[in-house]
Amino acid sequence: MTKLIKSGAYAQDAFAPVADDAVLPTGAVLVSLARFQKERDSLLERNTPIGVKLQSHENPEILGDDVSRLSLVALEFPKFRDGRAFSWARILRTRMGFTGEIRAVGDFLFDQVNYQHRVGFDAWEVPDHFTVEMFQQALTEMTDVYQPSADGKKTIRELRASR
């Protein structure tokens, strides 16, 4: 069982995950990239929020201009050692200008939450044992950073150079 954390609190998931061969329910849906590509026109014509779940090997740039019509992009961490979703989130925010929800799903670690947030994630599917308090702690673990990111936070190098 997973829970959703958004804006630092538990949140109700407005998106119904839909398998590739299932009937689409009314309302907001979360579909695979394959289904989105296959049923693009009919999904967009529904005039309801659409989310696309990308597997770690699926580059979000394949969404092209359609990304502006999406409300959610869920990025998969198949195992905590696979960090491609960090790059995908940053590309979505900086290069593609995506302003919708970017959700982390799958196997990621407490230590990764802060950097996920820095590169553009703003929602997390977390296991039952992961509390909001743990989430808040994860966001504040690192006060200074080495890597530049989508959040614009000054790096340690930039801070030193400005003295």
- The tens place of each residue's pLDDT in the chain, 163 residues long, gives 579 999 989 999 999 999 999 999 999 999 999 999 999 999 999 999 999 999 999 999 999 999 999 999 999 999 888 889 999 999 999 999 999 999 999 998 888 898 899 899 999 999 888 899 988 988 887 777 667 777 777 876 777 888 8
> What is d(CA 15, CA 29) in angstroms, rounded to the nearest whole number?
5
> What is d(CA 101, CA 121) in angstroms, rounded to the nearest whole number?
7
User: Cβ neighbours of residue 135 under 8 Å, at least 6 residues apart?
Assistant: 5, 8, 113, 124, 126
> What is d(CA 98, CA 120) in angstroms, rounded to the nearest whole number?
10
Closest CA to 102 of 67, 148, 132, 142: 67
- pTM here is 0.89
Q: Which residues pair with 123 in a beta bridge?
A: 6, 103
Closest CA to 115 of 132, 139, 92: 139
> What is d(CA 2, CA 76) in angstroms, rounded to the nearest whole number?
14
Question: What domains are there in the chain, each with its CATH number?
Answer: 2-161 (3.20.20)
User: Element (H or E) spanning 134, and its range?
Assistant: helix 132-140
pLDDT at 52: 98
